[in-house]
Chain A
Amino acid sequence: MNDVAAATLVQAAARAAPRVPVLEVADLSVEFRTRSGTVRALDGVSLQVHRGECLGVVGESGSGKSVTAYAVMRLLDPAARITGGRITFGGMDMLGAGDADLADLRGRELSMIFQNPRASLNPIRPVGTQIADVLLRHGGVTRAQAPARAAALLAEVGIPDPERRARAYPFELSGGMCQRVGIALALACRPALLIADEPTTGLDVTTQAVIMDLVLGLARARGMATVLITHDLGLATEYCDSIAVMHAGHVVETAPTAALFATPRHPYTARLIGATPRPGLALGDLASIAGSLPDLRREDLPACRFLDRCERARPDCAAAPLPRRTEAARMVACRYPL
């Protein structure tokens, strides 16, 4: 695919039909072949994000959030296999695309920021040079212009004294500064979709808020679509238009943020809300979520993977298929929803 065609693809799709999602994941299943068995990491995952929208993907650690993100980027480990479903980005079939087309798309139309900002940067390359690498790859700048553009991008993400910081190595910067560099890298070529995988986990609380405001501010200003992956429902509520709740490789509920909070329909969502600190709730009232995720290598995984932790479970909950009820903008995957 040539550059111009790819660049206009997303915008054209958006103009023609405003409600066509930028990213659509439908019924996606992913397995990992490991020595100790097959890990059924994703099973029938469906998501949609529209232009200018922020979708939160929430779930405890191990629920398949990162695997979903890597599948969309087509950056899964060699051990992974996509066993079913579709991923459509800007009208393009991501599962059928060739390596060269994908590499052209990544970093330019489709970007990602990562959980561990310092480990996500090349430890022995100055950060300005790393930004210049991305600009030279996609940004249409010359070798002579790249350093100045890189410094300008660092300034845009609020790094003081950008010319000097551009020459710094990751180990010379704080975690927050490294994440700002990660944001500059991801947004350097003004992508249509940004996936932020736990962008503030591991940063201190004040830095967390600053980084979140920075990412979402830039996203909104540019009309980007954003997927915010987090284990923190509170954080997602604050920044996202709608939320998809994941549990053990399933999306168990999708709803606009306010509706999800007001009337959670999946028992897991209700428990997550109960475990989320919010104003007017004493710490002692916070319920923790009992039980743990099922082992995804099990041969006899029940259709509902929340079954063992659910106080509302009935005998027929184990039977396939997992019911997915869709009404208006909401989806819930439960036979007996709240």
Chain B
Amino acid sequence: MMLAVIARRLAAALPTLAGVVVVTFLLTRALPGDPAAYFAGPAATREAVEQIRAQLGLDRSLGMQFLGYLRELARGDLGLSITTGQPVLSDIVARLPASAELTLLALLFAALAGISLGVLAALRPNGWLDNLCRVIATLGVCLPAFFTGLLLIYVFYYLLGWAPAPLGRLNAFAAPPPHVTGFFLIDSLLAGQGETFRSALAQILLPALSLGIFAVAPIARITRGSMLAVMSSDFIRAARAHGLSGRTVVIAYALRNALLPVVTTLGMVFSFLLGANVLIEKVFAWPGIGSYAVEALIASDYAPVQGFVMTMGFLYVLLNLAIDLLYRVIDPRMEVTA
């Protein structure tokens, strides 16, 4: 049953993925800058640049370039990065865990904070928590994530000195833990390296907070509205008429029902986070795929940008699949309507 659903969803995602492939190809061709000139260097002659252009295949027609691109994709070849000299695929595979760890932690933080705030606000509409919620929502909309990041660095690193320097995933003296998942927080625990875990946690806290804060507001708002609607429904009155305790009514009865629209929102919020990630990684010198893409973009290096957008497309499809499955776990009614 579950497998059939997964297969159906993946099949439905194929057109999206095809679209991602076409758009990434066209987008990078439309970007300003001449990679051949960049690669050849400022002192190169016109002939040298043309030679390199031919080497890179950039002198062929757009259609021919696209066919070549597809052939390479089919082989799992995302091309070479001109700046790092490495295959883009291996660059991305090496940097993806850093981005994933940061984004997932930010999402976890945003979900916990947003859902708790939303529930508390709904239990006492127009109470002080409800008003706090509204303030956070407004701030979250006004302040871009990278600005929050800079602000947090200024306060917690520069003024208070509580946070370590915003320079990557570990402090300069710690070595990465043995690679299992690529998530330093998990790998260091698996290897029993308490010191490494502490360093990784200290480094990731600020970027995860700056990324997560702006997702708290939409989650809290949706949770509040959905909780208010559920709390006034017949079955909640009935549950209370049967004497169920406040905790059971709020958590097992109301919240689980109220989470259904929240889960849908989480998907959208996650894709926002993926976007905001790019700037946050730059601000915190985080060695993820976002900062990789920005550096490549500045250098007119097509292949990594292409690879990055494609990776995002795939992540987005996978994420929606995960959300869909989670929804099914919570809501038994989905099986009939699907």
Binding site for B on A (CB under 8 A): 70, 73, 75, 77, 103-108, 111-112, 114, 116, 119-125, 133-134, 137-138, 169, 171, 182, 185-186, 188
Contacts and interface: CB of A to CB of B under 8 A. Distances in A.
B242 A106 contact: yes
A123 to B, nearest CB: 7
Using C-beta atoms within 8 Å of the partner chain, give the interface range for chain B.
20 to 34
B336 A171 contact: yes
A111 B241 contact: yes
Given A70-B237, A121-B238, 4 more contacts: A106-B242, A112-B241, A122-B253, A133-B239
B252 A133 contact: yes
B240 interface: yes
Interface of B: 232-235, 237-246, 248, 252-253, 256-257, 330-333, 336
Contacts of B232: 77
B241 A106 contact: yes
B244 A134 contact: yes
Contact of B256 (A104, A124, A182): A124
Contacts of B252: 125, 133
Contacts of B237: 70, 75, 114, 120
Contacts of B331: 124
A107 B233 contact: no
A80 to B, nearest CB: 13
Nearest to A102: B243
B330 A124 contact: yes
B257 A123 contact: yes
Contacts of B333: 123-124, 169, 171
B244 A114 contact: no
Contacts of B253: 122, 125
A146 to B, nearest CB: 14
B235 A123 contact: yes
B236 to A, nearest CB: 9
Contacts of A73: 241
15 contacts: A73-B241, A75-B237, A103-B244, A106-B242, A111-B242, A112-B241, A114-B241, A120-B235, A122-B253, A124-B256, A124-B330, A137-B244, A169-B332, A169-B333, A182-B238
Residue picked from B240, B243, B245, B330, most chain A C-beta under 10 Å: B243
Contacts of A103: 240, 243-246
Given A114-B234, A133-B248, A106 B257 contact: no
A169 B240 CA distance: 19
Nearest to B240: A75
A119 to B, nearest CB: 4
B243 A105 contact: yes
